[in-house]
Structure formats: C-alpha cells, structure tokens
Structure 1
Amino acid sequence: MKTVRVVMMMVCAIWLALGWGEAHAQATRTWVSGVGDDANPCSRTAPCKTFAGAISKTAAGGEINTLDPGGYGAVTITKSIRIVAESGVAGVLVSGTNGIVVAAAAADSVYLEGLVFDGVAAAGLNGILFNSGGSLVVYNCKIFGFSQWGILFTPTTPGKLLVSNSLVTNNGSSATFGGVKVFGRAGATTVSGVIDRSLLANNANGFLIDGTGGGGTAEVTVRDSVVTGNTGNGIATNSAGVVSSVVFVDRTTSSHNAGAGIAATGVAQAAAILASSSVQNNGTGLLATGGQIGSFKNNNISSNTTDGAPTVILPQN
C-alpha cells in the first residue's frame, strides 16, 4: 500500500512539473502585457504577450485584459470571449492576414473594446472577420489600413452586430471593399445590427448591407454617425432576390462621398429608410436603382452634384 502511494505521488509530481495540470486549467480572466511571455499562465503577475497566447488559457465566457500598451497580434476566436483594453493602446497590427477572426458557435458572443487594428497600409486583409457566432460587439475601437474591409460580418447562423463609438477609416483597396459590410450567408435567417456614434471615413465604401449571400432578412441601423469622404458610396444596400436588406439611417450625416450618399440597388427588397439625417455634397445624394429609398420628410438632401429623390414618402406618426 505504501509503495502504491509513493508511485502515485511521483506521478503527480511529474504531471505538475510538466505543466499538464495547468494546461487544462483555464481562468475566467487573463492578462497580456507588452513585456509578457506566452509561456506564462497569463495571470496579472505573470501575463502573456499576445492575445493568441492568452485565449487558450481563458475559459469560455471569460475576459482578456491588457496591462499596458503593446502590440498583441492576430487571434482566432472560437468561443464566447471579451477582449478589453483600458490601459492604453492595444494594437492588432497585421500584414497579409486578418486581424481578429471570429469562428465561434451559434450561441457564442464576442466583445472587443479599446483595440486599434492596423492593416499596415493595405497589407492586411480584414480588420475583423466574423465568420460564425451569435453576436459581435465592437466598442471604442479604431480600424484602419486594411485592403478589404475594416469589419466584415458574414455569419452562417442568425447573428447580431453592434459597432459603437468607433473609427473605421482608410480601408478598401478597390471599389468592392471598404469600411463595414454585413453579408448574411446561407443559414443566417436573420441578421440585425446597429452602428452607433461612429465615423466611417475615407474608405473605398462606407457601409454596405449585402443581401446576395443566400441568407435571410438583414436589418441594420446607422444612428448618430458620420459617413464621409469615401471614394464609392457612403451608405448602401442591395439585394438580388426575395431577401430583405434594409438599412435605417437615423440622425446621421452622409457627406462628401464620391458615389452616392445613400444607395439602394438590385430589387425592391433592398431598402434605405431615412429619418432626421443629412445627405450633402456627394456625387449623388439618393440613388435608387431597383431598390427603394424611403424618407420621413425630415431630412436634409442638398448640395449634391445630383440630389436625387426618395422613392417613397413615409408618414410621421
């Protein structure tokens, strides 16, 4: 009996020495630092160096915090997680790849706060690429310099997007890319979102809700925001069939875009609805080519090369 106890104690000692026990333990909160090491347990006193190093040591539903400014690298998220930077600049600087990729389960939620995504003068692909998951919140982030999209939200199941208090600038190296795109794919029967108090500026296109991906109804509100200086359209929606793609534009300015300030193209299921908003100094103010643009008659559409007109006047209640 004594011999068995000694053997078991030796096995446990080896197991702990090799770190096997620690590898299986995940904390609800982990930490990263510019002077950390991914071999560490990612505790506050022994932080990791990258988000990729910390995420494997963070439990589902947990949080990764930054201790100081630093470049924390690209990461793929496969579970519910929060990444929060409150101590300074937390950079995700990438070249030839995406910044943060979300490939999570249908009920998972991802929250990103205080991050700076840098695509290194269009060497990076997408700042945030959401392939699957239940929801994505982007709060107080800066996303710039990516060759494709600052945020590409393209779920395969019902999904929700919130972008708040963020800057999305200088993204898109060609006319098919830009700042933020919502693109529901097959299985995404409903997609909803809000872009709130944000700036989408100097991209190839500002915002696009695209109903051609095989998903279902998509509805996004752009509220209390500014969309300006984009080389294509400011705010646009399109659809190729029975799929409804609707953008609600509320208390928002779309100005100085080389294309249309507001565009609805494809078929009638593509619709833009304007309330208390300004559309000024664009190539075209309102452009409805197959789609519909509704106005509550409390908007300012002026000083565009061609102002255009809403296709539907909506009653105020």
Structure 2
Amino acid sequence: MSSGSLMPRRRLGITVVPALLCLLVSSVAWGQATRTWISGVGDDANPCSRTAPCKTFAGAISKTATGGELDAMDPGGFGALTITKSITVDGGPNAGGILNAGTHGIVVNAPGAVVILRNLTIQGTGTGLDGIRIMAASQVHIEGCTLMGFTGSGIHVLADAGAPKLFVRNTSINGASSKPPAVPTDTTAGIQVESGTAMIDHGQIIAAITGLGALNGAQVTVNDTTFAGNSAEGVHAFGGATVTLERGVVAQNSTGIKADAPALVRISDVMVGHNTSKGLEGNVATFGNNRIAAGNGIDGTPSTTLPQN
C-alpha cells in the first residue's frame, strides 16, 4: 500500500483520539451542575434540575459543582449533610429543613473551602448532636438560619479545624448543649468556637447551658445579639480566647458574662441584667458605657475600664 493511501487514515486517527478523550471527560463532568434543586416530592435519581429535583441534600450535593449552589424548593426535611467542597446551600424562602435526631445536622470538612449556609432550619429533636459541625474550612457563612434541640452545640468550630473564619448573621439557636462546661475539652454551647475567628451579628442564643463558648485562643466579635435563658453562662471565655461584645443583651442566665484569665471579654453598650447568680465574673473589661446594675443576683465588677478612643 502506498504511503499516500496511509496518510488520510493517520490523519483520521489523530482527529478521532482527541474527540474520544473530550467525550470521556464531558461524560464524567455531565453529572455536576452549578445550580441544583431539591424538593420533598423529588427523587435522588433525578438530575436535580428545577424541573426534576432531587429528594435530599446528600443526593444533590454530588451533582453540584464545586462553588455551585444547592437550593430547596419547599419546606421539607432533606436529611443530614456532609460538605467537602466550596458550595452554597440555600433553604429558600420556606427555610428548607434538616432533621438530625441522633447525629450531626451539617458537617463541614472542606479544607480551604468557602461554605455558605442560608435560610435553613436544623432540628435536633432533643437527641441531635451538633447542628453545624465545622471540622475544616477557610470560611463558613451562616445566614438566616434557625437551629434547635441539640445535645451538643448549635454551631461548633473544632479546635483542629484549621483556624477557619466563621460569620453568623440573623441566626437563632434554641436549646443546645447538655454537657456542663466543667472540662474545657468537653464543653458545648449554643455557639462553641475552639479555633479561628468568628463574627456574630444580629443573633439570638437562648436556652442552652452556655450561650457562647470561646476557647483555645479563638477571637470572637459579637454585635446586636441576645444571650438569654442559658442555665450556666450567657458568654464564657477561657483558654486564652478573646471576646468583644458590642450592643447586646445578656439576661436571665445563671451567670451573664464570665472570663477565666488569661481569656478576656470586652463589653461596650451591653445590658447585663436579671442573671440569677452573677452579672460579671472574672476578666471582663468595660468601655464604661454598659448597664450592669440591672437585677442580677450579684452584679459583679469589671476587671478594668478601657478608653473609648
């Protein structure tokens, strides 16, 4: 056979091989979309599109691309979820839910990832462990969520989570924690921050044992937030953590605000009242513009007064 007759076949081979490779790659990526949907009447065998939604968070997340968004179409219960990549999970206007009896509601184990959790209701029914458990991430944003009924913490940033940045906004936590805060390594709280930084804005943490627990050098900033009805402390810092409270209410707890040195809590424009045992205890610094004498068992005295520069 002449060399001239072989040339077209060689060219055909060169053309076909890349085409086959592209087909294989596209078939692998086909199952992931940048936006997916779930519904109480969905099916996890579906492609998770708006017209053919999936049934559960766990079923839909594998079909959602990294950095994509997973949306709930109705207020159904969509099961517990483990997140291992950057993603937005949005419960939608009806606050799609998770019922996590006996387990964690959402586990974030995604080193370097940015995770956004929005408009979700997470219900532990009194036996759930942590509502949101952060094992690793770069940033976790929790917005417009309601969490209730846990034996662990509502939101729990673990000590070895890699110093994530936590942002909590317009979120309420009701009925977290069944472990008394006697041992630093075994405490729980409505929000428990054991590493990294946290910003809590316009929140309500009620009916836990401890409202906010900060330890292990964590840095927590809180503004416009209520800590009320917690059976131990509204706010408790220890193990070298620092907490700054700006504009808020700490009321009807056993102890309002407690800091075990070298941990430090700074307070500005905060009302600390009607706490049955003490208002302030330990290393609590004031900017001199708070209301402490407000019906506490013992009001307590700030450890120092800071200048308002």
TM-score in same-fold range (> 0.5): yes
CA–CA distance in 1 between the matches of 2:30 and 2:279?
57
Q: Where does residue 300 of structure 1 map in the other structure?
A: 291
Query: Which of residues 197, 200, 218 is equivalent to 1:195?
Result: 200
Unaligned segments of structure 1, at least 5 residues: 185-190, 212-216
| Distance of aligned partners of 1:175 and 1:238 in 2 relative to their CA distance in 1, 3 Å threshold | same
Give how far 1:24 is off. 5.0
Q: Which of 222, 244, 247 is matched with 2:243 structurally?
A: 247
Structure 2 residue corresponding to 1:160, chosen from 165, 174, 180: 165
State how far apart, in whole Å, the 2-side matches of 1:23 and 1:99 are: 28
Q: Which amino acid is the alignment partner of residue 189 of structure 2?
A: G
Structure 2 residue 274 is the aligned partner of structure 1 residue 281: yes
Q: How many residues align?
A: 282
Partner of 1:142: 146
Aligned counterpart, 2:192 = 181
Residues 232-256 of structure 1: per-residue CA shift (max 9 Å, x gap): 10011001xxxx4100010011000
Q: Which amino acid aligns with 1:101?
A: V
Give 2:305's aligned residue: 313
Q: Please tell me whether the aligned partners of residues 23 and 57 of structure 1 are also in contact (alpha carbons under 8 angstroms).
A: no
1:193 Cα deviation (Å)?
1.2
Q: Distance in 2 between matches of 1:143 and 1:95?
A: 13
Matched with 1:125 is 129
Post-superposition offset of 1:178: 2.7
Work out whether 1:262 is the aligned partner of 2:273: no
- Structure 1 residues 2-36: Cα deviation after superposition (integer angstroms, max 9, x where no partner): xx99xx9xxx9xx99xxx93675311110001100
Mapped contact 1:34–1:49 kept (Cα < 8 A): yes
User: What is the letter of the counterpart of residue 180 of structure 1?
Assistant: I
The normalised TM-score by structure 1 is 0.85
Shift of 1:69: 1.6
3-state DSSP class of the match of 1:71?
A: coil
Aligned AA (1:104)? A
* Partner deviation per Cα, 1:249-289 (whole Å, 9 max, x = no partner): 1001100001x111001x32x0000001111111211100x
State the SS of the aligned residue for 1:231: coil
Structure 1 stretches of 4+ moved >2 Å: 20-25
Partner Cα separation in structure 1 for residue 211 and residue 163 of structure 2: 23
TM-score, normalised by the number of residues in structure 2: 0.87
Distance in structure 2 (CA, Å) of the matches to 1:69 and 1:141? 13
| Partner AA of 2:130 in structure 1 | N
Equivalence for 1:68: 74
1:39 counterpart = 2:45: yes
Equivalent residue number for residue 210 of structure 1:
215
Paired residues of 2:135 and 2:161 also in contact (CA < 8 A): yes
2:168 partner SS: strand
Structure 2 unaligned residues grouped into runs of 5+: 1-8, 182-187
What CA distance in whole angstroms lies between the structure 2 residues aligned with 1:87 and 1:264? Answer: 39
Q: Distance in 2 between matches of 1:64 and 1:55?
A: 7
CA distance in 2, matches of 1:181, 1:311: 24
- Contact 1:40/1:48 (8 A) holds in 2: yes
Which range is displaced more, 31-40 or 80-89?
A: 80-89
Any idea what the Cα deviations from partners look like across 1:76-123, whole Å, max 9, x if unmatched? 000001001223131100111100000001x21110011000001x21
Bigger radius of gyration among the two: 2
Query: Is residue 91–residue 97 contact of structure 2 (8 Å, CA) maintained in 1?
Result: no
1:187 matched to which residue of 2? none
Distance 1:252 1:293 in 2: 15
SS at match of 1:119: strand
Instruction: Give distance in 1, aligned partners of 2:155 and 2:180.
Output: 16
* Structure 2 CA distance for aligned equivalents of residues 223 and 52 of structure 1: 34
